[in-house]
Structure 1
Amino acid sequence: MRVLPAIIICIGVLLAPAVWIGLKWMLSEEDFQGASVDSTARIEIEMLRQQIEDLQLRLTDLQTEVARLPMANSGQMAPSASSAEAEREIWDQTEGADLDYAQVVLIADRVNVNRGLQVTGGKYLTERLGRPRETLNDTCQPMTNPELKEKLVTEQVGPIRVSMLRPAIESLKVVFENIRQADPDLYNRINTAGALCVRRIRGTTNSLSTHSYGLAVDLNIDGQLDNFTDGKTQLGLTIMADFFFDEGWVWGAGFRREDSMHFEISRRQLDAWIAEGRL
């Protein structure tokens, strides 16, 4: 918005000499010789001379103002650091300037949010990794499979503390760091509803979820749990979903029974970790 006034000032500065020279020529002493110039005309001429002098003084002031305006590398006007800080203070103090990440919104194109990534599923996990423990019930129990237990870690990962298999922990660190760099306000509001939970899926006799392997995490904004299977989610989760997708995680918003707080490792990512000897 500050560019247009500056351009007008610059044009005025450039044209001022030409205007002054032209007026001097028009109002030169030779033009005033002879009886044809009466007293009224002389008064008007003197007033015009005074206006020209005032214009010169104003143009000098404008030149000084233009010189003080910092110029960006592109040649356009750029605000000074102090003015940028002032604008940021106004933005920070403006009601509604920050996004409401906990706001509940509809999940757009829900069935396609995972764009080709496949869930692992309990059966596939058992084939590839074995069972995390032999006996299961409806409550969370310790992992007893020695090979998996060896890779189980509990750490502070970004804004949350979780227990997961080490490759999942390392991948989650990347996701959270990318979120922190892109949107620190969202990062600071991430909360968890749990990760590792070795139990059977409720309503089944012996089926396993990805949580039983420490390869899934439930997240929310500000500790506010999202409603299950309503086709809606928190705004912050829709933003986070893209960062998880980039690291090979599946978002539960695309499940037949929508669970948008849930993020789990995809089959593709699991197979890559196994091929690399990390699982």
Structure 2
Amino acid sequence: MNRSKMSDADFWFGLILYVLIVLITLFVLLPLINVLSSSFSAPSLVAQGKIMFWPKGLTLSSYQKVFENPSVWTGYGNTLLYTVLGTAINVILTILAAYPLSRSDLKGGKLIFGVLIFTMYFQGGMIPTYLVVKNLGMVNTVWAMVLPGAISTFNLIVMRTYFINTMPKELQESAFIDGCSNTRYLWSIVLPICKPILAVIALYYSVYHWNDFFQALIYLSEPSKYPLQLVLRDILISSKIDDFATLDNGFTDRLFQAEGIKYAIIVVASLPMLILYPFMQRFFVKGALVGSVKG
């Protein structure tokens, strides 16, 4: 900051802002560094709380134990399937709902939109939803993981708002004058222009599917269909940690190994989303600013 070109109030405001940004960054970053360092450290040192932000007793034993277990690979495959299929369904249905609702010439559009808003505040509840899924024959199938939450009302509102703010009515009228149909207008004009919001919505949905374990806990009963997050839950909470910790040196060694495995599995489960975000960042920034004031 060049203090000579700003007032004292602006200088101190900027300084305080920078300090807050640094503190918030450290608040978010340091726990991640601790988890990463613990996953590469000797399990005994991790269990004794001697790891802070730098690995000690560097080892890959925790990752070896994780990847030796077939349930992790099965969970990875299932999660990829649920994420890719679920995100595709979510994005397609959200587009097909948001586009007509963004049109001012849609008869009854305000009423339909009001009904959708109503569902954000009043829902059927877990038991009625489960009964619906069960009566449709989707329990313990892949469809139970991707169809019950096929459209998020919040994401629908965001996409509809983006369509309204981005697509001028004059563009629509000129396209129709040239003989463009609604389907052609959506496919050839609206979607190419609205790539940022599509990337944002796809990222929102994919993160939701990747981290989701509650629906699997309710609807899935076969371990072979469990997503990675449910495998992670079993490792961190239930007695299945013993499947990973099979050392022959007694209970203490098994307990130490379990501590290292916990951190390794957190890294394994989080890494794909962390890798995905940088590739979508430029779209994410544009789409996340929907509704902001334009100069």
Same-fold call, TM cutoff 0.5: no
* Bigger strand share: 1
Q: TM-score, normalised by structure 2?
A: 0.18
Higher relative contact order (CA 8 A, sep 6+): 2
User: Normalized against structure 1, the TM-score is what?
Assistant: 0.19
| Structure with the higher fraction of residues in helix conformation | 2
Who wins on radius of gyration, i.e. which is larger?
1
